Amino acid sequence: MSSNDISSVLTENRRFDPPADFVSQARIKAADLEALVKQAEQDYEGFWADQAKQHVNWKQPFSTILNADNAPHYRWFEDGVLNVSYNCIDRHLAEKADKTAIIFEGEQGDVTHISYQQLHDEVCRLANGLKSLGIGKGDRVIIYMPMTAQAVIAMQACARIGAIHSVVFGGFSAESLRDRIADASATALITADGGNRGAKVVELKSAADKALEERCDSIEHVVVLKRTGHDINIQAGRDVWWHDLVAGQASECEPEWVEAEHPLFLLYTSGSTGKPKGIQHSSAGYLLSAIQTNLWVFDLKDDDIFWCTADVGWITGHTYVAYGPLAVGATTVIYEGAPVVPDAGRFWKICQDHKVTVFYTAPTAIRALMKFGDDYPSSYDLSSIRLLGTVGEPINPEAWMWYHRVIGRERCPIVDTWWQTETGANMITPLPGVTSTKPGSCTLALPGIAADVVNEAGESITEANKGGYLVIKKPWPSMLRTIWGDDQRYVDTYFPKFDGKYYLCGDSARKDEDGYYWIMGRIDDVVNISGHRLGTMEVESSLVAHDKVVEAAVVSRPHDVKGEAIVAFVICKDERPVGADAETMVQELRNWVGEQIGAIAKPDDIRFAEGLPKTRSGKIMRRLLRTIARGEEITSDTSTLENEQVVLQLQGKA
Ligand code: WTA
């Protein structure tokens, strides 16, 4: 882990204090933070109990705080009873029935405002519709939808009746959808005819039909939203149009009151093996941190319009679009389409038109839009924006500075939020009214989050800027509870070291002389493409599933927009393709991976050789492959290789 590269040393000198006018109105000020940190240190459980009482509306209060009897299967607020949808909607109705809960904008420009009362009514109608199909508490419902208000309504309706939803990103292929349906043994699928993205129709229903051809016998019902209106297949007895299902349903639906630990949702994410993991989140603990971080980190107030650009297919879209902003009674913006339709000014136009006050996006989007220059953002009125955020990968200082200067007009704090699907909510992040920021650092852990950087022996690294494992030393309410159906994999993946006491994030990090965290990268075979996690093994499995491929190894190399790009080294069954044959094969394999996983997993670069470089014990030399992928000079000893020619082939030199 090389932590002391020149650029990171240089950037450490730049510090940005929170602007005075932001500080004066911030929810969390320096003194508040100090008190919270102190309480969390002195009375960890008492701190969380206070938070849970303050922020969550309980049907029945809890009397126990943390149950660690079966660690690392922790349980929080166990005997409390609540409903997450009630917390997101009903509790605001007395005061905010007419307030806009959701502003939706379609890619083609259609705009809908949904008030809290309307949201309540829509969620209840769908919840009643789902109940009429026999769906209830504990049933798994897959949501495979375009980024629309109805995606959030579907999630909320599931939460209302205690069904466990699992949103599958609309960009995933039929194969990926099928794997997730099968793993979750879902009984229902909520989808749409299609969605609009990149000025094209995304064929969701036809992908769903394909997924359901095999291994999906558990699915009894498919609910189909009419979004694009193009022709699709409707299978009688199985498929029902959303509008038919909700027609005539009551706009009241008594929430299903569930225990605190009742699973709210599963969300599949990549790990270091080929099989995605169904990350299982709880109801109360997850909700608590969603609320707390929307208040603390995004400083949401009654008049805020929060636009988090993430799709609900990712955790960010769960916590900062579908649940958190609603639970705190804010207005959440949803945009269906691509950032460059009709041009690279779309995001900034949306910010202007809807008077967005808090804007949260990924470094990859910032870098992509930065490439179009300052003219697009400069031609829109961005004066409503008061706070900016980033998530998903380390932000390079250049992109941070552009975001600060051109979007924030040098007056908005930037919160660089580190967290994961597994953590449920922001963990290491500036508090915008307190923390001085440094471009590229996610700064400090939130109160109640026991983060640290430790060495192989599990000891805290006290030396500044020395890299190690990023760990969380105490359980926290919004942590994942398990991997769906695989408790052992949960333990093996997240608690494999340090006597199972610390949660291992899978990232390496260092702390600088101010104790600020700098994320250095993954320690496992997970790559981060445009802020989306992909296991290299997933891409390898998909490549070797192709009938012309015998072996494949996948690594990443840096990419200036996507963060990382995938490079695949492939051995074919027949002769190694060269020239035009190689080009055809590259196309074939890229399309294949797109079909097997989704477009985000298509390798940028595919190279063919007669073999892969392996150690004597037969292990693929991944470090060497990374060097080759990056076009760097090979300094390691390759003399032990069985066939040195393959290195030249992989380098494109033979
Ligand atoms: C990376 C996304 C640096 C990290 C919420 C983590 C980050 C993985 C940051 C989780 C950040 C996320 N700075 N790296 N601010 N935020 N990451 O599960 O490697 O899609 O482990 O959750 O993204 O990705 P996931």
What's the mean pLDDT when you consider all of the chain? Answer: 94
**DSSP element (H, E) containing 107:** none
Q: How far is CA 386 from CA 242, 298, 305, 429, in A?
A: 38, 10, 10, 17
- CA–centroid distance, 515 to ligand 1, in Å, is 19
- CA–centroid distance, 215 to ligand 1, in Å, is 32
pTM of the model: 0.93
- CA–centroid distance, 463 to ligand 1, in Å, is 24
Q: What is the largest CA-CA distance in the chain?
A: 75
Q: What residue owns the CA closest to ligand 1's atom 6?
A: 420
DSSP-assigned letter for residue 478: T
Cβ-based neighbours of 583, under 8 Å, separated by 6 or more: none
Is the bond into 61 cis (omega within 30 degrees of 0)?
A: no
Determine the angle formed by the axes of helices 174-184 and 579-596, rounding to 10 degrees.
40
pLDDT top residue among 324 and 524: 324
Question: How many CA atoms within 13 Å lie on the side-chain side of 380?
Answer: 22
pLDDT of 4 > 50? The answer is: no
Burial of 77 (0-12, 13-18, 19+ CB in 10 A): buried
- Residues with Cβ within 6 A of ligand 1? 269, 314-316, 391-394, 416-421, 442, 505-507, 519, 522, 528, 533
Calpha distance 397→414 (Å, rounded) = 12
- CA–centroid distance, 417 to ligand 1, in Å, is 8
Under DSSP, is residue 606 helix (H, G, I), strand (E, B) or coil?
Answer: strand
Secondary structure (H, E, C), 430-453: CCCCCCCECCCCCECECCCCCEEE
**DSSP element (H, E) containing 487:** helix 487-494
The amino acid occupying position 254 is E
Work out the angle at residue 438's Cα, subtended by the Cα atoms of residues 516 and 416, and round it to the nearest 5 degrees.
80
Q: What is the pLDDT of residues 263-293, one digit of tens each?
A: 999 999 988 777 889 999 999 999 999 999 9
Q: What is the pLDDT of residues 419-430, one digit of tens each?
A: 999 999 999 999
Residue pair 165/159 in contact (Cβ under 8 Å)? The answer is yes
To test the pocket of ligand 1, the residue of 528, 562, 600 to mutate (highest count of ligand atoms within 8 Å of its CB) is 528
**Phi, psi torsion values for 42, nearest 5 degrees:** -80, -35
pLDDT of 378 reads 97
Q: What is the pLDDT of residues 386-400, one digit of tens each?
A: 999 999 998 999 999
To test the pocket of ligand 1, the residue of 269, 418, 494 to mutate (highest count of ligand atoms within 8 Å of its CB) is 418
